[in-house]
Amino acid sequence: MRFPLGWLLFNRWLWITIFSMSAIAIGPFFVLSLILALPQELRGIAIIMLIFGWSIAAGYKDWVIARRQEEKMMKFQTSENYHEENFR
């Protein structure tokens, strides 16, 4: 008997998605368990470093989004000016 959706099991993107979602779901538990396994003195340092790294990543993400929006506005303004100057 053939499996009707057998082709789906051989789809590369399906497995990439499954492994990525598993890593996103399970990864924080491993990080938390590693932090809890540290000695008391190092736990505070590890938590501060985690918060510091997280804030840098969030700031960088916001900066990239703002830059992309600025580029979109520049493209829109130049194309708008082009039409105004050439069709007067």
Q: What is the sign of the dihedral through the CA atoms of 47, 52, 53 and 57? A: positive
Mean pLDDT (the chain) is 85
- Whether this prediction's pTM lies above 0.85 is answered by no
Q: pLDDT higher for 6 or 70? A: 70
Q: Is the pLDDT of residue 75 over 90?
A: no
pLDDT tens string 30-71? 999 999 999 999 999 999 999 999 999 999 999 999 999 988
Taking the C-alpha atoms of residue 46 and residue 48, their distance in angstroms, rounded to an integer, is 5
Q: pLDDT higher for 9 or 86? A: 9
Domains of the chain, residue spans: 1-37, 39-88
